[in-house]
Structure 1
């Protein structure tokens, strides 16, 4: 994706944390020359050699998997918080804009065998059940229920390139106090998350 230099985040540790916390992504490949996208959890993991990978699964009813070609590049998109920024909050006249965080990952996809897929599914369920009052485990589900797993395809993606855009009003630092003040007034979860990211970014620069 196009990212102006001052919006690029090349802090790999921070970007990985973002992916872990915003793992409901979009998997994109091509079907008969047409882009095809599926919204699914794409979890950051490591392969047997300790390299970062993404793992996920889709339904066999989804034709996308039939075009999973070994060593063919796919694109994964992870969207974070975003919010409109009014230029009425600036000290000087300017056009309004949009602040956001997004990460694009390019990688090579391969289909998992059943054992690897089950390992990934256990990790996925355990991660999101952690905060449940009565967490479930795949270990406790009946064989009849687990038969549904026959209807999905698991895969992993070898990460080749990470592009991270953190557009947080860089270059308008003098306007940050007013932008933050106005975003805090709004009943907007995305805006509040952008405020936190702006404050965090400012603290890092002053250290």
Structure 2
């Protein structure tokens, strides 16, 4: 991913937190000779060797998994908040732009066995059921329901490279107060998030 140096975030602890809170990503590889992308939750974890990994699963009906080759490099993309930035908010004339957070993660993919897939599903469901009024647990699902696991393919991606772009008007510090003010006036939650992030980075 092309990232000018002033937008590059090399704080891995901060980027890891971003991945934990923005785990719905895009898995990309080559399938049948074409780029192929699937939108799925990809959970940041560590494996038995202490390496950072992304863990996920896709449907067996999705042909993407048939192109998985152990230790093949794949790309995953995670998007955060984004917002249009009007140059009318600047003190000097300039073109408009867009602020955004994006993280690209590269790694080698490995298909998981049934036990590891089940373990990953427990973690996934437990994480997101915490906010439910009546949380479910995989432990309580019937055998008939759990047979659906046979219809998925689980995998882990051993992370080899993380590239993070945090484009937050870093080159225009003199305009930050006005940019923040205008973003907060909008009805767009993403604009509000970008405003808050600009504040935090000051």
**Band the TM-score falls in, shorter-chain normalisation:** over 0.9
Q: How does 1:81-100 map to 2 (within 5 A)?
A: 81-100=81-100
- Per the alignment, residue 69 of structure 2 pairs with 69
Distance in 1 of aligned mates of 2:7 and 2:200: 15
Displacement of 1:145 in angstroms is 0.6
Distance in 1 of aligned mates of 2:183 and 2:154: 40
Q: How does 1:13-32 map to 2 (within 5 A)?
A: 13-32=13-32
- Per the alignment, residue 150 of structure 2 pairs with 150
Distance in 2 of aligned mates of 1:129 and 1:32: 36
Distance in 2 of aligned mates of 1:32 and 1:145: 32
Displacement of 1:32 in angstroms is 2.5
TM-score of the superposed pair, with normalisation by structure 1: 0.97
Distance in 2 of aligned mates of 1:31 and 1:138: 32
5+ long unaligned stretches in structure 2? none
Distance in 2 of aligned mates of 1:190 and 1:55: 27
1:19-60 superposed Cα distances (whole Å, 9 cap, x missing partner): 000000000000122100000000000100111100000000
Say whether residues 1:34 and 2:34 are aligned partners.
yes
Which has the larger displacement, 14-23 or 191-200?
191-200
> CA RMSD, aligned part only?
0.5
Say whether residues 1:190 and 2:162 are aligned partners.
no
Distance in 2 of aligned mates of 1:100 and 1:129: 28
1:68-103 superposed Cα distances (whole Å, 9 cap, x missing partner): 011110000000000000000000000000000000
Displacement of 1:9 in angstroms is 0.1
TM superposition outliers: structure 1 runs of 4+ over 3 Å: none
- Per the alignment, residue 4 of structure 1 pairs with 4
Distance in 2 of aligned mates of 1:140 and 1:96: 53
Distance in 1 of aligned mates of 2:89 and 2:112: 50
- Per the alignment, residue 116 of structure 1 pairs with 116
- Per the alignment, residue 205 of structure 1 pairs with none
- Per the alignment, residue 170 of structure 2 pairs with 170
* Count of residues paired in the alignment: 202
Displacement of 1:196 in angstroms is 1.2
TM-score of the superposed pair, with normalisation by structure 2: 0.99
Secondary structure of the residue that 1:139 maps to in structure 2? helix
